[in-house]
Amino acid sequence: MPVYKLHYFNLRGRAELARLIMSQAGVEFEDVRFERTEWPALKATMPFGQVPVLEVDGQMLAQSNTISRYLSRKHDLAGKDDWEQALADMYADNINDLMTGMRPAFLEKDADKQKELYEKFMTETVATHVAIVEKQLEKNGTGHLVGKELTWADLAYYGFFSFLVEKFGEDFLKDASHLKSLIALVAELPNIKKWVESRPKTEI
């Protein structure tokens, strides 16, 4: 079994999906976290000067979705064939877009402006996406985004949308029973439940 070390800030952020994948797969990994004040000294040691970075037996792999895709394929969470893998990639890339879309609100220092940006993000970007995905979950008819079994796409949606529920409540899911069910399904997976209960408590 490879020795995994995941390097990231002391946040869920763009590293949490990789953590969820490894946790669900039941593989051990070292969760290497650091504070933002430590980053300038570490930046030059990372490929492309960014994180997350997955260290696999001493070799370094950057880019959050590349890391998660690699781990999902290694541990049977990528989809059963090429088409399912492509669909899982598609959903994971959508979550990446949503995270990018939330970034301006997260970085905003003015409290009133930040609240305004978050409200706009939830009522426009998130609401539109939820409506689309709800129809796709209903069409697939398995309780999963892709195929009949759990993939990293399901973990990606759980990771992001469970965070939104924590932060904003679940009213935005009132017309999305299938997405709510998916989030609940993943939350009750024993390995995911164990990880969530044991991980450091962070705002994001």
User: Using CA atoms in the order 33, 161, 65, 56, what is the torsion angle rounded to 10 degrees?
Assistant: 40
Per-residue pLDDT of the chain (204 residues; tens, 9 = 90+): 899 999 999 999 999 999 999 999 999 999 999 999 999 999 999 999 999 999 999 999 999 999 999 999 999 999 999 999 999 999 999 999 999 999 999 999 999 999 999 999 999 999 999 999 999 999 999 999 999 999 999 999 999 999 999 999 999 999 999 999 999 999 999 999 999 999 999 988
Answer whether residue 43 is part of any domain: yes
Phi, psi of 54 (to 5 degrees): -100, 125
Residue-range definition of the domain harbouring residue 122:
82-188
Per the confidence metrics, is the pTM higher than 0.95? Answer: yes
204 located within any domain: no
Burial (Cβ within 10 Å: 0-12, 13-18, ≥19) of residue 83: exposed
Q: Are residues 86 and 157 in the same domain?
A: yes
Single-letter amino acid, residue 162? S
Tally the residues of the chain.
204
Task: For residues 150 and 176, state if they share a domain.
Answer: yes
Tokens found for residue 184 = 């609940």
Residues 56 and 119 in one domain: no
End-to-end CA separation in angstroms for the chain: 30
130 located within any domain: yes
